[in-house]
Amino acid sequence: MGDFNEVLDLAEVHSTRTRPYSQIQAFRKVISDTGLQDMGFKGYQFTWSSNFLSPHTTRARLNQGFCNKTWLDSFLEYEITHLLVNKSDHVPLLLRSSYAGAPLCGIFCINVIWHCMVTLSDNLKRWWNLSITFC
């Protein structure tokens, strides 16, 4: 997520000035070539405003969220919301998500002193053969 200073489509810009379509195509190509996809959003469609008085105001969706397939597989439920602000030319983005993978747990380490324990070897063999549910 961030301010990319570019749009994916002419519909993401409201301006009296024409935006070079070659710039938009180049940005789309970078997103496509890197395997990213637009995460979409809820809220007002523009995330940046020039703050000039109408009719000279330019608005665009410059702040966006992108993700790859690995991220999508890990976070099945997500939502980006464009928040409202009064004093900034940029709209903050709020990402809500829920992790779909296995719960994250601590790392298992063997302490050197454990090797002195008579039953350690037998216990380790038994433990590693168990079906373990993390966390």
Average pLDDT of the chain? 84
**Sorting pLDDT into bands at 50, 70 and 90, what band is 135?**
very low
CA angle 87, 89, 90 (to 5 degrees): 105
pLDDT of 31-56, one tens digit each? 999 999 999 999 999 999 997 777 78
Q: Which domains does the chain have, with CATH numbers?
A: 2-104 (3.60.10.10)
- Which of 19-23, 99-103, 104-108 is most confident? 19-23
Read off the pTM: 0.69
Q: Nearest-CA neighbor of 39 among 95, 90, 106?
A: 95
Element (H, E) at 124: helix 120-128
The rounded distance, in Å, linking the Cα atoms of 94 and 77 is 14
Residue with tokens 């379509």: 21
Dig out the tokens for 16 from the structure.
Answer: 């009296």
